Structure 1
Amino acid sequence: MASFSTLSDLDLDRQVAALSRQLNDLKKVLARRGDAYYEDGREVASDYYSQLADRLHETLPAIRRRGRALERTARDHPATAAAVGLVVVGLLAGLLISRR
């Protein structure tokens, strides 16, 4: 490698210009690849979303039926529902406290 004292300003300008061109070329390549990865990711996410929506659409009537049955049971047995609710709240509190 030549020492700095022997390099002329013209050589430095040429090297800087060449490096700038290479940097610009690399930026363009990265931009194209980034766009391709973004499109691929967007398509995959869209596919997952449509699959999830289809599954939910198929199971939603069953979930509603079970929810209504649970609601009827809670109305028929309010003390039991309250006790179950307190147990769930206690379990959640215990989990939160044990994580600390």
Structure 2
Amino acid sequence: MASAFSRFRSEDDLGAQVARLSKEMAALKKALSKRGSDVYDDARDAGADLYGELRDRFTDALPMVRRRAHAAEQVARDHPATAAVVGLLVVGLLVTMLARK
């Protein structure tokens, strides 16, 4: 008879353990969700900061890039054969680099 009561008590203990584990799992899911949301927000903020910094740097450098591009265009117009050779070399180099990967 003692074994029958101990069996019922162990079933009650098992039910209580399952209930506790279910509550712990729910708490862990909630904590993970919160942490994932925080990480996403941090990554989004870091991306926005990086984008803003890059935009500022490119905006500052854009006039110089335009002047250099205009100078390169003028050299290419003055020496078309040389520009064609350099262009073919650059294209060949890019094709070689892409073919290796």
| Structure 2 portions without partners, runs of 5+ | 1-6
Q: Which residue of 2 aligns with 1:86?
A: 88
CA distance in 2, matches of 1:52, 1:96: 26
> What TM-score comes out, normalization by structure 1 length?
0.79
CA distance in 2, matches of 1:96, 1:42: 31
Query: Are 2:66 and 1:64 aligned?
Result: yes
- How many matched pairs? 94
- How big is the alpha-carbon RMSD for the aligned residues of Structure 1 and Structure 2? 2.0
> What TM-score comes out, normalization by structure 2 length?
0.79
The ranges of structure 1 where at least 4 consecutive aligned residues each deviate by more than 2 angstroms after the TM superposition are 10-14, 89-97
**3-state SS of the aligned residue for 1:41?**
helix
Q: Which has the larger radius of gyration?
A: 2
Q: Deviations over 1:29-84 (max 9, x none)?
A: 11111111111111111111111100000000110111111111111211111111
| Structure 1 portions without partners, runs of 5+ | 1-5
Query: Are 2:56 and 1:51 aligned?
Result: no
Query: Are 2:20 and 1:18 aligned?
Result: yes
Shift of 1:92: 2.9
Matched letter for residue 78 of structure 2: D
